[in-house]
Structure 1
Amino acid sequence: MQNWKLTLTYDGTAFYGWQVQPSLPTIQGELQSAIGRILGSGWGEPPLPQGSGRTDAGVHALGQVASVALEAPVPADNLLRALNRTLPAAIRVLSVEPVPPEFHARHSARAKTYEYRIFRGNLCSPFLAPYVHPCRWKLDLASLQDAAQAVSGEHDFTSFAASDSDTTNRVNDDESEPKSPIRTVYRSEWSTDEGDLLLYRVRGNGFLHHMVRNLVGTMLEIGRGQFPAGSMARILESRNRSAAGPTAPAKGLFLHSVEYPDFDLPAANPF
């Protein structure tokens, strides 16, 4: 039995999120099916790959991580090529690495980074439109940056959780641990590129359901003057979802990367 770490990128537009759902296309379901086709019927039911977290319907990934243990003796390079031949074009596996049995994509993770993309121009290319949230209001960048800084550190993020939030979905939590809305944000900032994109990037030890999209929606309300400048701290302290802004659309959100502690990798691939 070999445990594998898979790093994936995907366009989430046509998928109902990461988590497998009956009769609906999902990233986890497509990955499981691809593994099953590669292994063939002689290895029984294909295992269900475990992701670092459950991206929502329409959310994209630049560096999602999954772990899966396989009995079949497949070399890493062969597994990588076979997966990319078998998966739909919207999902690509960037790397396949052997990892120790104790590695788990979600339980072993220590930090995640998300990126949200805002388009501020007048004419958005149809090749860019599926991956950005168009925002034509005038935004005060200083107010956006101030709001982003206000969420850094350890906080109760109840104000930014979905009403059905699974608060066990902290990247380094075990499912048996008590539910908690407390998360630590290590970095939170806005930046602009040379074109019409405005980017929000946030790095933390875990995120509640819809947390990043609710943060972005609230910050945009602050940036366009619908909420008073400097109100982010008050919204956090209220621990009340109704005090915050709307949920930003899924299509602008990307899971950028997932971080793990160093593991002692197998000395060599025996296959």
Structure 2
Amino acid sequence: MEGPTLQDSVEAALREAGVPAGVMPSGRTDRGVHARMQVLSLRLPEAPALEEMLGRVARHLPPDLGICVAKRPAPSFHAQWVASGKSYRYRLQLEGTVSEAWRPYALDVPREPLLASREVRPERLAELLNHATGTRDFIAFHEKSSPRKPRRLESATLHARGSGLYEVRLEGEGFARYQVRYLVGSALKVAAGLLPEEHWHAALEAAAPLEGLKAPAQGLVLWEVRYPAAVDPFSPGERLHPPGLPGTPPFGDEAPG
């Protein structure tokens, strides 16, 4: 990976703010993937004034990285080990031309070399994604560096955002490396008629190898990391509207202009 990671940037800001502490992330995202509510936990020798600490740290963060909330969760809280699930969103321009605001954050399907000149009907894509839900061996859809084990995909739905932009929303207990990108890319390949549908079903039902497609990173957003109610550091309102989060792409819910 080139350049500093999100964790590097946060730890550097903590040091500059006089709060030297290592952070424990809920997981890692691929280079080029965006994160709306990535969670980092840290343990401090003293309980600081949170608002004051937040202000000091925020001054040392790069402009495209912000801290939305700081809380004192349960003593046993660990950002990764107590997480109960994750939500991802992947933006696709299926029809028309992607707007300038969304261009860096969406896959422009009609202009993607492999998919160019192939029609991808939204209802067809939604049907394929729905078939992927359930507890399965997703080995055909993730890197072999991730452990092979059953994983539960709770939902995989497609939502129209307007002007030909669509959003794939995926929720699950946990995801292997590149799993979301392979699921979205391979579903697109089947919907475009470039991969037989029976191969898709065999990969899902019997973990058969698949000549899938890894969708590009820029369309993907880690939307949120979920925790059991007893240890969740965020209120329902904060999850819906994280304080300080920009309302612009790739995080805003407004339709593109």
Residue 149 (structure 2) aligns with: 181
- Structure 1 residue 251: Cα displacement: 0.6
Residue 130 (structure 1) aligns with: 104
Q: What amino acid is aligned across from residue 71 of structure 2 in structure 1? A: E
When structure 1 is superposed on structure 2, of 24-33 and 125-134 the one drifting more is: 125-134
Higher strand share: 1
- Structure 1 residue 123: Cα displacement: 3.4
Work out whether 1:224 is the aligned partner of 2:203. Answer: no
Residue 251 (structure 1) aligns with: 218
Aligned residue for 2:123, secondary structure, equals helix
Could you list the runs of 5+ residues in structure 2 that have no partner in the other structure? Answer: 111-117, 234-257
Residue 147 (structure 1) aligns with: 128
User: Judging changes above 3 Å, is the alpha-carbon distance between structure 1 residues 230 and 81 closer, same or farther for their aligned structure 2 residues?
Assistant: farther
Coordinate RMSD, CA, aligned: 2.1
Q: Check whether the contact 2:119–2:192 (CA below 8 A) recurs between aligned residues.
A: yes
Q: Check whether the contact 1:154–1:183 (CA below 8 A) recurs between aligned residues.
A: yes
Aligned residue for 1:144, secondary structure, equals helix
1:31 and 1:185 map into 2 onto residues whose CA distance is: 30
- Structure 1 residue 265: Cα displacement: 8.9
Residue 100 (structure 1) aligns with: 74
TM-score, scaled relative to structure 2: 0.81
Task: State the identity as a percent.
Answer: 30
Alignment of 1:38-49 (within 5 A): 38-39=17-18, 46-49=20-23
Q: Check whether the contact 1:58–1:250 (CA below 8 A) recurs between aligned residues.
A: yes
2:87 to 113, 119, 136: 113
Could you list the runs of 5+ residues in structure 1 that have no partner in the other structure? Answer: 1-15, 17-22, 41-45, 168-179, 267-271
Aligned residue for 1:105, secondary structure, equals coil
Residue 9 (structure 2) aligns with: 30
The superposition leaves residues 176-206 of structure 1 with CA deviations (integer Å, 9 ceiling, x where unpaired) of xxxx331001111111122221111110000
Q: Check whether the contact 1:159–1:238 (CA below 8 A) recurs between aligned residues.
A: no
Q: Check whether the contact 1:161–1:214 (CA below 8 A) recurs between aligned residues.
A: yes
- Structure 1 residue 121: Cα displacement: 4.4
The superposition leaves residues 228-258 of structure 1 with CA deviations (integer Å, 9 ceiling, x where unpaired) of 34653212234244x1411000111000111
Residue 59 (structure 1) aligns with: 33
Q: Check whether the contact 2:85–2:227 (CA below 8 A) recurs between aligned residues.
A: yes
Q: Check whether the contact 2:93–2:166 (CA below 8 A) recurs between aligned residues.
A: yes
- Structure 1 residue 263: Cα displacement: 2.9
Aligned residue for 1:39, secondary structure, equals coil
2:73 and 2:183 map into 1 onto residues whose CA distance is: 34
User: Judging changes above 3 Å, is the alpha-carbon distance between structure 1 residues 127 and 265 closer, same or farther for their aligned structure 2 residues?
Assistant: closer
Aligned residue for 2:88, secondary structure, equals strand
Q: Check whether the contact 2:94–2:120 (CA below 8 A) recurs between aligned residues.
A: no
- Structure 1 residue 48: Cα displacement: 2.1
Aligned residue for 2:42, secondary structure, equals strand
The superposition leaves residues 78-106 of structure 1 with CA deviations (integer Å, 9 ceiling, x where unpaired) of 12222221110111111111112210011
Q: Check whether the contact 2:16–2:57 (CA below 8 A) recurs between aligned residues.
A: no
Aligned residue for 2:36, secondary structure, equals strand
1:222 and 1:135 map into 2 onto residues whose CA distance is: 13
Q: Check whether the contact 1:151–1:232 (CA below 8 A) recurs between aligned residues.
A: no
TM-score, scaled relative to structure 1: 0.77
Aligned residue for 2:7, secondary structure, equals helix
1:92 and 1:262 map into 2 onto residues whose CA distance is: 24
User: Judging changes above 3 Å, is the alpha-carbon distance between structure 1 residues 79 and 196 closer, same or farther for their aligned structure 2 residues?
Assistant: farther
Residue 141 (structure 2) aligns with: 160
Aligned residue for 1:149, secondary structure, equals helix
Q: Check whether the contact 2:202–2:208 (CA below 8 A) recurs between aligned residues.
A: no
